[in-house]
Amino acid sequence: MGVFHAAAGALFAIGWFLFADGAAEAKKDDATKYEFVECLPGILCMVAMLMMLAVSMDSIGGNDGGDDMFGGGNVDQDHVTRHKVLFFFAAMVFLSGLTVAVWLQAAKYKGSDNWWPGVALTLQALAFMGSSFCIGAAKLVKPRNDDGMPF
């Protein structure tokens, strides 16, 4: 487990903490109580994270692990296309979650004295996006062959 995995877990936990803190703060005022629509950014970002977990970063980046001179090899192009499409749809679902969070922040909490629940939703979506980015970065980092040599 590397630093990217630890960062992904920390951002994931921070995202849920922000949601819980925003919900607790919103409960103090009847006008800003969380309803189901406030759960949508977290749900959409979680679905997008699960979609991103299924994506092979090597295949969408063009590094398919072949032994050919140019990095190619015997690669199924349908496999690469499926991963690129899944990555695209996951990015769209992430952006949908962020859009809903920003919309709620602007529409529901703009005129309220209690603005923190709206900001917490936006920060939650950003934390989940960062967590998924860290997981993707961890997939790209090759494990180091530690043979005990200092160099």
pLDDT at 65: 53
Domain span at 15 = 3-65+75-140
Phi, psi torsion values for 96, nearest 5 degrees: -65, -45
Provide the mean pLDDT of the chain.
85
Which residues are CB-contacts of 15 (< 8 A; sequence separation ≥ 6)? 42, 45, 123, 124, 125, 127, 128, 131
In a domain, 52, yes or no: yes
Query: 113 or 67: which carries more pLDDT confidence?
Result: 113
pLDDT at 2: 83
In a domain, 108, yes or no: yes
pLDDT at 68: 45
pLDDT at 101: 95
- Counting residues of the chain whose pLDDT is more than 70, the rounded percentage is 84
How many separate domains does the chain show?
1
Using one digit for the tens of pLDDT, what is the confidence trace for 65-96? 554 445 555 567 788 888 899 999 999 999 99
In a domain, 38, yes or no: yes
Query: 118 or 59: which carries more pLDDT confidence?
Result: 118
pLDDT at 147: 56
pLDDT winner (highest mean) among 44-58, 115-129, 132-146: 115-129
100 residue type, one letter:
V
pTM value is: 0.82
In a domain, 147, yes or no: no
**Rounded distance between C-alpha atoms, residue 53 and residue 134, angstroms:** 11
In a domain, 39, yes or no: yes
